[in-house]
Structure 1
Amino acid sequence: MASADEMCTESSDPERKKICMEEMLRDHCGEFGRWQLKHFVLTSLAWVLVAFHTMVMIFADHQPHSTSHNICQLKPTSWEWLGGRAATTVSQWALICAQKYKVGLARALFFLGSIIGGGVFGHLADSFLGRKRTLGVACTLNAIFGCLTALSPNYWIYVLLRIFTGFTNTGVALSAYVLASEPIGLNKRGTVGMCTFYFFSGGIALLSGIAYIFQTWRYLYVASSIPSFLYIILVLPFLSESPRWYLVRGRVTEAMKLMSTIASSNGRVLPDGVILALDQDQSSNTEGLENKGAHSASIVDVIRNPTTRVRLFTAMALNFLCDLVYYGLSLNVMNLKSNLYVNVLINAVGEMPAFFVTAVLMERFGRKPLTVGTMWFSAVFCLMGSMVGNVGVWKVVRMVSGVLGIFGMAGTYNLLFIYTAELFPTVVRNAALGCTTQASQMGAILAPFVVVLGGRLPFEVFAACGIVGGIFAFYLPETLNQPLYDTFDGMEAELA
């Protein structure tokens, strides 16, 4: 089997050395220099917006305190909401008692919108629209739908707009992650990629402060949507398109100009006589490279290819199981003795150590062993939680088991984003991530229904999911220190 470097440097033209993206980043541009740092931070700020639009439901849809207990047994005029009727959607439209299911329905349909958006925006980002423009379109629509949600005249219009917000929110997340990670060299990609999720958790923590200031749900939706408009105006113009997308679309001149800019910003010099080539084209003549046209593919090609088909279905199963446990444990553990705003803040900050630990270990042990390890770590503590009662000292044991279960699955949750992106070539990377995101959202939809089972059963289900997920991970290849392939042919040549 030829090495990645050998594939990148073969050329029939002695005057022009054709090299692939990984080699150019490593040897000439820098794998993670000043340019990549700036680009990564600016792009990853979009994850703060994703957190705003996702987690705003925690504050907007919670049931506020009332002047009486057991309100379902009282006449509507005999009590009132503390903070006023307009405080949340629950008090606004009386989503209590027999109508309480509508709160869960609105949340589930948000994730349903995310499932649809994952496929649509994943395809757009891989095809003619590109990563940057897809991010811009999704972010613009997200901001518009977020603000319109604040004007909802009734519950069903509110739900419809939340579906639209979920649809576009996934487009922001997918495009931002791929755009941020593709210009980074393979030796830095894992550690830097894990830092993406600090922005998401930081966004949740920041949202708790915004929600504390704007304690009326309509104002909160406006306040949490305005940053999306600011991102479009103040940040998006300073982002660059992915050089890998330029390359697979046959726009080699633009890719080379961007690589030259990266090298210059990093204090490097891109030598004359080198040119970028796809991993399937290194041994072909450089002449006419611009005229080869775009290399495009779709999710259908992923399924047709035996190698990527196994990877896709396995990654989808892992993402489904991970999100089911992650969101399920988050809903199932309600032991912090403080108000809602403090609860959300502590949960967001509490996840961050998992990112650091995973980032350190993944570069030492690899993606595959760590995926198995984090899922089984979570499973062990979920199993422990299922074996104890919920009274006395055992209540504390169950609480600690749940927190440690979340800790392990939070590491898996973020690791899978990096792992999945590395499993597929550039021509279908966003589309594949879109499918795995759709699977993860199915897990998020199912999680509340598992939680309502009560007792030990949720912990037993979550433990089983962690065990099965760890077994599934054995069917994936290791991607540590492996290049990001451009095309199916390049990937197959490396595997041959």
Structure 2
Amino acid sequence: MADNSLPLLSQSDHSNQPPQTDHDDHHNHDDIVVTSLDDMIEQSIGCFGWAQFVQAILVAIASIFDSQQSFINVYTDSYPTWHCTNGTTTAACNSTSNICQLSRSDWAWDRISSSSIISEWGLECSSAFIRSLPASSHFTGCLLGILFVSALADSSLGRKNLLLFSCLIMSVTTFMGVLSNNVWIYSLLRFISGVARASIGTCTIVLLTEKIGRRWRGLSGVIDATFFVIGTLSLPAIAYISGGSSWRAMYLWTSIPSLVYCALLHFSVSESPRWLFMQGLVDEAMATLKRLSPNNNEDINVSLLLDHHELDHVHSTHHDDHQTSNKFNIFSSIGELFVKQWARRRTLALMVLGFGIGTVYYGMTFGNGNLGVVFNGLSEMPSVLMIFYLIKSLNRRSSILLLCVTSGICCIMTVVVRSSELEMVQIGLEVGSFFGACTGLNVILIYAIELFPTCVRNSATSMARQALNFGAIFSSILVSIGKKNELLSNNVIFGLIIICCGFSVVFLPETKDAALCDTMDEQERKDNNIVHV
């Protein structure tokens, strides 16, 4: 296999040059020497300037719509409250009655029937499978989208184009959901929306991270999480504003702004410079770095940082290796994550972690309905600050294990303390469980970016997201089954799962303050050097 670690600009190229004198100071920037792509990018955009900040905000806005579509079913597919009618002929009708055993004239919904798909389409007596079909269809679509769509960000489409494509398809299918007239069409549209939405979260965090230097890596998680919180908390606000109207209003309020955002994304957001270099698009990559440079190109002349001949050689070896490893799979680079033992071990460990965190993150949100969405949002606000602290101060493995164990213990304790006298304690424990899960979710996505090289980075992050969706599907079904029982009994299962899954971090290496690699061979050599040292 070709040696993919060939320097972009060799030190030996300058070994015979005389020392720089004072009268040549104005040429200093032309003599910057970089020995890797990561060094060159750090030299260009290692500081965080206004251009990077604006780009980060424009990219992170996508997380608002990602968040909204994750939890919108809590409102549109909710089981409405009802009451006995004044003219009831059944003496047994009361607040604890089973409406499926009552005459339809004996009771009525508290709100208009179109406030939820349950009441509009008469699903109140349907099976748990039917009632949970739209939500489970959406997250099943997310699973397939990760397998067959997300990896395109590492190959042909790139981070920006896949983000644009995903947002556009999700927005259109969300808008079309307004026209649904039965649960089957509605579930199909939710499925397609899930396929498209699968790539948004990964493209957003990867694109954010690859446009800033390593010392600001935690900031990408903070910005992404902040906008995800905005999206989560916007749902209760939209539900309040549209109170008393049809569930279709929720989809109009969320689809139209996302369609407008697609135009903004297309014209205002630039592609990842790392991905452009890996594709051999040198001129575009350098132009992007110039626009992002906090020094306004005065201190760093990017065009002189690269030797085009050597870069073309490096790209050709990267491209040949990438094509060889994917010749049997033209749709995705996910297969590369399972070829080598070290990559396979990391991928599986990340997926186990993701499943545990996703089970609690989505399970407690779905289980608590509107209150769960509010708890989620309130938990994520302090989580945003915690992410920045954890990324800057603590190592990744200890942070994730601590968050998983804390979340699991809080989840289990909500069952232990359930009583009217300890209601506030129970609420506090639920918020604590949310906090641990949502903080862990954001940390694990940053961790995935650091564990894998540029050529498969989006695919690896997608696999972590896929595991989160597995947790979402599992928890949504469990919550739906448990509707007729004490809901909090599910929390014991959720808590045990996240604690057990948290210990899979022992199979992962530490990556705090590590440089990002660009190829599988480079990553392997770097890891071997660390082990030998």
- By the TM > 0.5 criterion, same fold? yes
Is 2:334 aligned against 1:302? no
Q: Which amino acid aligns with 2:70?
A: T
The match for 1:49 is 65
Distance change >3 Å, CA 400–CA 300, structure 1 → 2: same
Shift of 1:290: 6.5
Is 2:112 aligned against 1:84? yes
Distance change >3 Å, CA 179–CA 222, structure 1 → 2: same
- Contact 1:53–1:225, Cα closer than 8 Å, also in 2: no
Shift of 1:458: 2.7
Instruction: Give CA-to-partner distance per residue, 1:449-481, whole Å, 9 cap, x none.
Output: 444274775333233223222311121111111
CA distance in 2, matches of 1:287, 1:439: 37
Shift of 1:371: 0.6
286-295 or 192-201: bigger deviation: 286-295
Q: Which amino acid aligns with 1:162?
A: R
Query: TM-score, normalization: structure 2?
Result: 0.83
Is 2:497 aligned against 1:465? yes
The match for 1:321 is 356
The match for 2:406 is 377
CA distance in 1, matches of 2:318, 2:386: 43
Q: Which amino acid aligns with 1:309?
A: R
- Structure 2 unaligned runs (5+)? 18-30, 85-94, 327-332, 529-533
Q: Which amino acid aligns with 1:443?
A: G
CA distance in 2, matches of 1:112, 1:290: 36
Instruction: Give matches, 1:142-181, under 5 Å.
Output: 142-181=170-209
Instruction: Give CA-to-partner distance per residue, 1:84-121, whole Å, 9 cap, x none.
Output: 22221111101112345422222111110111111222
The match for 2:290 is 260
CA distance in 1, matches of 2:427, 2:240: 26
Distance change >3 Å, CA 384–CA 12, structure 1 → 2: same
The match for 1:421 is 449
Instruction: Give CA-to-partner distance per residue, 1:347-398, whole Å, 9 cap, x none.
Output: 4133211221232133111211101111111123234334x25334355444
CA distance in 1, matches of 2:56, 2:250: 28
Query: What is the aligned length?
Result: 480
CA distance in 1, matches of 2:405, 2:233: 28
183-192 or 260-269: bigger deviation: 260-269
Shift of 1:219: 2.5
Q: Which amino acid aligns with 2:432?
A: L
The match for 1:352 is 381
Instruction: Give CA-to-partner distance per residue, 1:276-306, whole Å, 9 cap, x none.
Output: 58xxx9xx94575676673636221211112
Query: Where in structure 1 do 4 or more consecutive aligned residues deviate above 6 Å?
Result: 5-9
Instruction: Give CA-to-partner distance per residue, 1:423-458, whole Å, 9 cap, x none.
Output: 111111111122221111111111134442747753
Instruction: Give matches, 1:76-475, under 5 Å.
Output: 76-99=104-127, 101-214=129-242, 215-263=245-293, 266=296, 268-271=298-301, 274-276=304-306, 285=310, 294=319, 296=322, 298-333=333-368, 340=370, 344-345=373-374, 347-386=376-415, 388-451=416-479, 452=482, 454=486, 457-475=489-507
Instruction: Give CA-to-partner distance per residue, 1:318-373, whole Å, 9 cap, x none.
Output: 00011112222334457xxxxx4x76445413321122123213311121110111
- Structure 1 unaligned runs (5+)? 335-339
CA distance in 2, matches of 1:7, 1:363: 29
343-352 or 403-412: bigger deviation: 343-352
The match for 1:337 is none
The match for 1:489 is 521
- Contact 2:160–2:270, Cα closer than 8 Å, also in 1: yes
Shift of 1:264: 6.1
**SS of equivalent to 2:112:** coil
CA distance in 1, matches of 2:314, 2:193: 41
**Higher alpha-carbon Rg:** 2
Q: Which amino acid aligns with 2:54?
A: K
Q: Which amino acid aligns with 1:359?
A: F
- Contact 1:141–1:168, Cα closer than 8 Å, also in 2: yes
Q: Which amino acid aligns with 2:514?
A: Q
- Contact 2:136–2:477, Cα closer than 8 Å, also in 1: no
Q: Which amino acid aligns with 1:462?
A: F
CA distance in 2, matches of 1:219, 1:146: 11
Query: TM-score, normalization: structure 1?
Result: 0.89
Shift of 1:27: 2.9
CA distance in 2, matches of 1:160, 1:324: 24
Shift of 1:167: 0.9
Distance change >3 Å, CA 100–CA 287, structure 1 → 2: closer
CA distance in 2, matches of 1:52, 1:292: 42
